[in-house]
Amino acid sequence: MNKLILSLFCLVPYLLSAQERLTLQDAIYRTLKKNYDIAVNGVAVQQAERNNTYGNAGFSPTINAIAAATQTHNNVRSDLANGTQQNNPNAVNTSINPALAVSWTLFDGGRMFIIKKQLNELEALTKLQLRSQMQTMVSRTIQVYAQVALQQKQLAAVDTALHLARTRIVLTETKYKTGAGAKVDYLQAMVDYNARRADSLSYLSTFASACDSLSVLMGENTDVLYHVDDSLPVNTLLARTNPEALRDINLSLATFRHNAHISKLNADAAKTYALPTVWVNGGLTYSRNTSATGFALFSRTYGGNGTLNVSIPVFQGGNIRRQANVASLQAMRDELLYEKQNTIIGRQYRTTWRNYSLAVAAHKLAVEDLKFARENLDVQLARFRIGVGTTLESREAENSFVQSLIRLYTAEFNVKVNETQVLELENKLLSE
């Protein structure tokens, strides 16, 4: 078991040296370019753009070309009234009938205008959803990238602890061999050193998991460890946004607002089914017939036709009124969902801003605490070298310094995560 642990620990430097260099901007670029969720929303935008036409709204006429050709072969024997007789064992009759049919709705209660507005709103909605998805993915990329950076720093903190523990091993071993110290101090230093090595393996596992999560966000299916930026810029001076302004800029609220507007347009469209519909039908026809028997051996006709149609709904079993009422209730429902989402976003923003403020305060405290821990460690190591300090005091100073490092790195991570969440709610993560 000890050999296995030693071999794994020796593998750590190799794994870290094989890392791929990745900056935050590179990670964001790769996410925006290759993330699957963003790609799916991009296809939805293309679909909405192609659907948003006047023809789809009902403005354009429909024109169909129709053609039929018929040929028959018959064995015919006819006794005519004039006393003549027709006998044709292979009478061929042909009929050719091409036509051009046109149908055009002239008035449908204004429904076509409402549908066109709906198509405009649907296109705008899909673009808004795409932007919202992009911002969400940027936010998640920053947060996961910060998680990778945190684990990378924690690995560095463990390396620092290993160096300190190794230094204490040398000192206690020297004292033990020269009779100036007890063997138990040397054994405790060895135990602490091995514990730090185990911590390193644990942090490496967490680091690899965070790297894998980052790969998935970037739309990649690779097993790779990233070497990320050692320090991410954090903004500890964000200004709180007015709740009324947040209502206008938050993308999630904008999505619900568009849905509510689309439902209102749908309710307006449902009411138009109670109004008359006026449309015209017309076309050009051509007919050519040949017959081997009979009185008319050849005939041809062609010309145009047109019909003005009016349909007035008189009684539909109450379905028109029912559909209009259901559509109005749906519009009311979506408006309530918008107001509910506004309340939820307001709560999320208050909670996120509170967490951000606390994270900034904790970060300032962690910076100050590290100064004291570093000075305390220097003093204790100096006392231990000259034989004044004890092993326990040195060990506690080492642990305090390492924990202070980890607290500082964790505080920086918390500031970055909460800063990103605030900016996401304020729609400030994407440039125009």
For the chain, the domains span 2-58+110-274+318-425, 63-75+88-107+276-312
Q: Rounded to an integer, what distance in angstroms lies between the CA atom of residue 67 and that of residue 11?
A: 78
Q: What is the largest CA-CA distance in the chain?
A: 149
Task: Provide long-range contacts, Cβ within 8 A and 24+ apart, for 85-90.
Answer: 86/293, 86/294, 88/292, 88/293, 90/292
Two tokens, residue 51? 């659907």
Two tokens, residue 10? 């020796």
Q: Rounded to an integer, what distance in angstroms lies between the CA atom of residue 345 and that of residue 285?
A: 63
Which positions ≥6 away from 251 have C-beta within 8 Å?
128, 131, 132, 135, 427
Positive or negative: CA dihedral 414, 419, 422, 423: negative
Query: pLDDT tens digits for 38-52?
Result: 999 999 999 999 999
Residue 351 confidence (pLDDT) above 60: yes
Helix residue ranges, H only, 272-390: 319-385
Residue 345 confidence (pLDDT) above 90: yes
Residue 9 confidence (pLDDT): 42
Domain 2-58+110-274+318-425 falls in which CATH fold? Outer membrane efflux proteins (OEP) (1.20.1600)
Q: What is the average pLDDT across 375-397? A: 75
Q: Which helix (H) or strand (E) holds 394?
A: helix 391-425
Residue 321 confidence (pLDDT): 93
Split at pLDDT 50, 70, 90, the class of 173 is: confident
Distances from the Cα of 45 to the Cαs of 121, 125, 163, 429, in angstroms?
12, 9, 55, 21
| pLDDT > 90 in the chain, percent | 51
Contact 90, 75 (CB under 8 A): yes
Strand 277-290, strand 20-21: pairing: unpaired
Residue 358 confidence (pLDDT): 95
Split at pLDDT 50, 70, 90, the class of 294 is: low
Q: How far apart are the first and last CA of the chain?
A: 57
Q: Rounded to an integer, what distance in angstroms lies between the CA atom of residue 312 and that of residue 306?
A: 20
Q: What is the average pLDDT across 233-243? A: 89
Query: pLDDT tens digits for 49-101?
Result: 999 999 999 999 999 999 998 888 877 777 666 767 777 778 788 989 999 99
Q: Rounded to an integer, what distance in angstroms lies between the CA atom of residue 289 and that of residue 300?
A: 6
pTM of model > 0.85: no
Q: Rounded to an integer, what distance in angstroms lies between the CA atom of residue 5 and that of residue 9?
A: 6
Split at pLDDT 50, 70, 90, the class of 244 is: confident
Contact 221, 215 (CB under 8 A): yes
Positive or negative: CA dihedral 312, 315, 317, 322: positive
Q: Which amino acid is at 312?
A: I
Of 377, 263, 392, the residue nearest 331 (C-alpha) = 263
Which positions ≥6 away from 2 have C-beta within 8 Å?
none
Query: pLDDT tens digits for 208-230?
Result: 888 999 999 998 888 888 999 88
Distances from the Cα of 158 to the Cαs of 73, 139, 153, 201, 249, in angstroms?
97, 29, 9, 10, 43
State the helix-helix crossing angle for 183-217 and 2-17, rounded to 10 degrees: 50
Contact 376, 393 (CB under 8 A): no
Query: pLDDT tens digits for 102-124?
Result: 999 999 999 999 999 999 999 99
Distances from the Cα of 59 to the Cαs of 54, 65, 305, in angstroms?
5, 20, 22
Find which of 136-140, 159-163, 165-169 is predicted with most confidence, using mean pLDDT.
136-140
Q: Give 272's DSSP letter.
A: G
When the pLDDT of each residue in the chain is averaged and rounded to a whole number, the result is 86
Q: What are phi and psi of 2, to 5 degrees?
A: -60, -40
Which positions ≥6 away from 270 have C-beta within 8 Å?
320, 323, 324, 326, 327, 328
Q: Rounded to an integer, what distance in angstroms lies between the CA atom of residue 107 and that of residue 118?
A: 18
Distances from the Cα of 432 to the Cαs of 41, 131, 309, 429, in angstroms?
18, 10, 51, 10
Two tokens, residue 226? 């990233």
Residue 7 confidence (pLDDT) above 60: no
Distances from the Cα of 153 to the Cαs of 162, 180, 262, 406, in angstroms?
14, 37, 49, 8
Which positions ≥6 away from 37 have C-beta within 8 Å?
133, 137
Q: Rounded to an integer, what distance in angstroms lies between the CA atom of residue 199 and that of residue 154?
A: 10
